[in-house]
Amino acid sequence: MYLPRHFEETRTGVLHALIVARPLATLVTLSPRGLEANSVPLRLRHDGSAFGALVGHVAHSNPFWRDFDASVHALAVFHGPQAYVTPSWYATKRETGKVVPTWNYVEVQARGPMRAVDDPVWLREMLCELTAQQESDRADPWSVDDAPRDYVDGLLRAIVGIEIPIVQLSGKWKVSQNQPAANRTGVIAGLAARGDTDSRALADLVARYAPHNAAD
C-alpha cells in the first residue's frame, strides 16, 4: 500500500492490537481466476516469531483453499476506524480557503505464505481459541464445548483451516498528522460531534498522534 512516512505505524504491539480488536480481515490470494478476496475472521497466534501467525477457517465448499497460488504470499487486510473529513472543520478554510476533503482511517496489512489445514484436531483448537477471544468480554461466555460433541464434529468436516505465518506487517494510521495544529483541533471537534463509534475513535487518535511534518 502507499505509505507516506508520516502515516506509518511500525510498533508491532499496536498493529497486533488492531488485529485482535478487528479480526474480520479481507484476505486476498491469487488463483487461476485472478485475484480473490474473502472476508475471513483471523486470530493472531503468538508462535515465537517476530510477527506471529494468523489462523482461521473457510467453508470446505469454498474453492479458495484448493486453488490459491502457494508461491504468492497471501495478503490479510484488517480495517480499523474510518471517517470522512470535511474541509469545513479546518481553520485554514476560513483563512485561505485552500483546503480539500479527505478520509481518515486506520489499516493493518499482513503478508505471508498460506497453507490449508484439513485436520480436525487443529481445527477444534483454532475454533476454541477464536471463540474464547471473541467471547472474553461476556459475563457468561459461550464455548465450543457448550455444543454437543457430535454436532461440532460434523461441522468440523464442513470447514478447512488456514494458517499464515506473518513475514511482513505494516500499518497506516492516517489521522491528520499532515495538518497544522489548528486544523487538527477542528477535526477532533468535528469527529467527536458526529458521535458514532468510528468517529469517536478517530478523534482520540488525532489527539494522540503527534504530527511528524505538520507546520504547527
Arithmetic mean of pLDDT, 83-96: 96
* Chain segment 130-147, per-residue pLDDT in tens: 999 999 999 999 999 999
CA distance 202 to 93: 21
Arithmetic mean of pLDDT, 8-15: 97
Q: Rounded to 5 degrees, what angle do the CA atoms 177, 180, 186 make? A: 90
Confidence of residue 215 (pLDDT cuts 50, 70, 90): very low
- Note whether residue 190 is domain-resident: no
Arithmetic mean of pLDDT, 109-115: 98
pTM (2 decimals)?
Answer: 0.92
Element (H, E) at 121: helix 120-135
What CATH number corresponds to the domain at position 163? 2.30.110.10
- Note whether residue 22 is domain-resident: yes
- What's residue 144's pLDDT? 94
Q: How many structural domains does the chain have? A: 1
Cell triple for 46: 503468538
- Give the domain range for residue 168: 5-81+105-178
CA distance 53 to 51: 7
Question: Contact at 8 Å (CB) between 67 and 51?
Answer: no
Cell triple for 18: 488492531
Length of the chain: 216
- Note whether residue 86 is domain-resident: no
Q: Is the pLDDT of residue 214 over 70?
A: no
Q: What is the DSSP letter of 69?
A: -
Q: Is the pLDDT of residue 29 over 80?
A: yes
- Note whether residue 186 is domain-resident: no
- What's residue 216's pLDDT? 36
Q: Rounded to 5 degrees, what angle do the CA atoms 26, 32, 36 make? A: 10
DSSP string of 130-185, one letter each residue: HHHHHHTTSSS---GGGS-HHHHHHHHTTEEEEEEE-SEEEEEEESSTTS-HHHHH
- Note whether residue 24 is domain-resident: yes
Q: Is the pLDDT of residue 201 over 50?
A: yes
Question: Contact at 8 Å (CB) between 9 and 169?
Answer: no
Arithmetic mean of pLDDT, 143-167: 95
CA 9 and chain centroid, separation = 13
* Chain segment 33-60, per-residue pLDDT in tens: 999 999 999 999 999 999 999 999 999 9
- Note whether residue 203 is domain-resident: no
- Note whether residue 213 is domain-resident: no
- Note whether residue 204 is domain-resident: no
- What's residue 212's pLDDT? 52
176: helix, coil or strand?
coil
Q: What is the DSSP letter of 14?
A: H
